A and B are shown apart, each in its own frame.
Chain A
């Protein structure tokens, strides 16, 4: 890819990158910084991009590192907020009988692998992640998308491991419900 079309492609990706960074960092200024740094790094590293993956995949990979840098820089400010919210999240009581059995058995998802090749599925997945409470969503994204280990998350956000496991568990159960309702139970996912 020549320099001019790379510029154009990167420019076109900016809104998407900004959306990803905002979701993760929940702070416009940090998100802007992370995206600017990622785009700059992409331009500087253009020679190293061998065209082996899509430009978007490559730049998002760079962005992940820049988001992590922002966490490092701003970790202290993030943590307080996370603790406040963690104290207030509701439990999963609405899903279970008092004896611990589910009200609604989980449905069979058929062949979920087929969904992975469909762009629409990822829109639904993203919408479900967006619907998680802010800090639950952030912790979940750190774990499953940025692929942090849980002890790293605890350190960056200054939360206890127990708190972290609880938040991740709740996020997964909510995401499961959301995907089931909005994808697998509809004909789109069939």
Chain B
């Protein structure tokens, strides 16, 4: 079993090494429906032109995706003008495309022409409310002071949200705060009359809501546009530009709704749209079945945790052996490892992006750092607590230092050390699901996608195998302990 796992890890590493040599174009995307869909469209356009594509979707946030692009981990991903100006560059006002392009050039990044829709903030009302008061534009709202505004907390706080909107349109109403996820329900049940939304949200269609026109053009524009690396092959840039001006707000909203309401796959929705636009020749989707996807995710997951835990074993044991004779050094090592452990995993992954980029390398580094504490702590504790009489006897009998370690200290420490590795492995398998946020893949991928789509089934496709894998790790180590450690030492050492 142990050998099989090692062999499969080895095989996987070789396979990924070969894949790297063919240099596929890597299309990235963030972890919400629209970004998955746009990334899928970009990928299919290239694939229909016989370009090998790798998808790196579900990246956990703007900074992760943009950093991945700048560092060359991905070659392109869909972004929004407002996000580029506000979140990436903290620019003032509403810069035009030329200004954005100028800011991006020094980083080796290019803007492709805008896709045509503007996914900005919007105010939405039910169709009944719109009919009752004859609402079409935001300025119409000023005439009805009795309308109740239930707005998301972020929108109420942002200067380009409610405070500025109220001032610009001279709206007489006050607003109350509500969780965005609950707002549509409250709207339908008549608890509130107006809420904020993203203009291309598929839920607007699902609930038959009316988006009011921003007639004073108050909201900054969030025009969707692909960002690409400047050094990308010009032919590929040209191909990706084909998507420009093919999508307006209503089309995008409808496509999003197809995914979240009709539960079609990203690939299906994207190919149907591209086919209708004449951007691809055939709508044949290479849809991967559940099992191959599951198998691939599981292998990546095993690779991430396997390498990390193996490295942590070597380092942790090495550290333990070099410090256990000195109480102050031991305390120092445990303190440092403990400190690493307290950094929340998402924060650690984010902190690693500037150093190690995105993808599997930072994920392995993070998992390695987390695994270090249980392994080092258990190894040091085990070595320090070896019966002093046994130490004295080992020395007095004439065992060399190496022989003392090999025949006495390590075998006596083994139950504790194995218990530490076991904890590290199980915790790593759980934590590695978060690595999908930085594009490392694994069983976190369906979880991240499932979270974006609010799709429990998809979440379970990641969560269940991860739980099973953790269970297998438990059993594997239990077997190892039984095999390697005499029973009477085991029962005394394994903490309940």
A binds B: no
Residue numbers of B with Cβ under 8 A of A are none
